Amino acid sequence: MSDDTQPETEATAPAEAAPVRAGISAARASLADVPPEPGAPKQDPILNATGVRRAFGGLVAVDVAHLEVQRGTITALIGPNGAGKTTFFNLLTGFDRPSRGEWVFDGRRADRMRSYQVARAGMVRTFQLTKALTRMTVMDNMLIGAGNQIGERFWAGLVPPLWKAQEAANRAKAMELLERFKLDRKRDDYAGELSGGQRKLLEMARALMLDPKMVMLDEPMAGVNPALKQSLLEHIKDLREDGMTVLFVEHDMDMVHEIADWVAVMAAGQLITEGTPDQISADRRVIDAYLGAHHDAAQH
């Protein structure tokens, strides 16, 4: 049984009142003039996808005409189960191939890249079901997330002076991230001994080993207990403060309202609208396709 009481207690300790985050105002100012409509053009998109379609036989899972993700913002991708959100994620990050379509990431054509090339370009992701390597330690999980490791090259691996300094730097960086995510006391534990919430934290920390420009989070709150949820929310906000762009899939609308600057809504594989969290919550198309009758009831 994993001993996760201490990290979760530390992660949720009352914080001192913090000043208004600079990233929030800058992110929302960059979206202030964007119309609440599907495929709306953005001021400075880091991701620009057009005509992305994925069909499995006669089933069309994704058919997104156009989507732009504004740089430096937190964007939520929401929709009912089966809307195609995770499939869309898989396409953008190279874990699946589209039937057609193209997208540009940070000025580079990315639809022909493999998943490792996408990650090297600066777009990294986490998964709904965490991909921690359970039989490796937490520290080793972090180290495999580091890119361009000299010691992995055959001949260089035989000459320690060529890679010792880089390995030391990677360990120092990994330790800094583990401290940030309150996992430093678990560094020598096997990843399989962590709680579900701690594995989410580990996966997010490992993604940062590559110094990404954009982080893609697939249902980051799935399976996370309430005690750790607020800590995860704060970590996601910190990504924006550090200058990164975040695109995340989520069903919890309270979370979306708390951290998202912008929301894109999918239904039946298509992007049906975009807007701020308040605009989306009041949009009849979203209510009909996703939020449902419980939303109407809550308004009366």
Two tokens at 82?
């089966």
What pLDDT sits at residue 178? 93
Q: 219-262, pLDDT tens digit by residue?
A: 888 777 787 888 888 889 999 999 999 999 988 888 899 999 99
pLDDT > 80? residue 5: no
pLDDT > 50? residue 300: no
Distance CA 222, CA 75 (A): 18
Contact between 92 and 104 under an 8 Å Cβ cutoff? The reply is no
Residues across the chain: 300
Would the CA dihedral through 102, 105, 108, 110 be positive or negative?
A: negative
Q: 8-53, pLDDT tens digit by residue?
A: 434 444 344 344 566 788 888 899 999 999 999 999 999 999 999 9
> How does the average pLDDT of the chain come out, rounded?
83
Q: 58-116, pLDDT tens digit by residue?
A: 899 999 999 999 999 999 999 988 899 999 999 999 999 999 999 999 999 999 999 98
Contact between 261 and 227 under an 8 Å Cβ cutoff? The reply is no
Structural domains for the chain? 21-130+214-298 (3.40.50.300), 133-193 (no CATH)
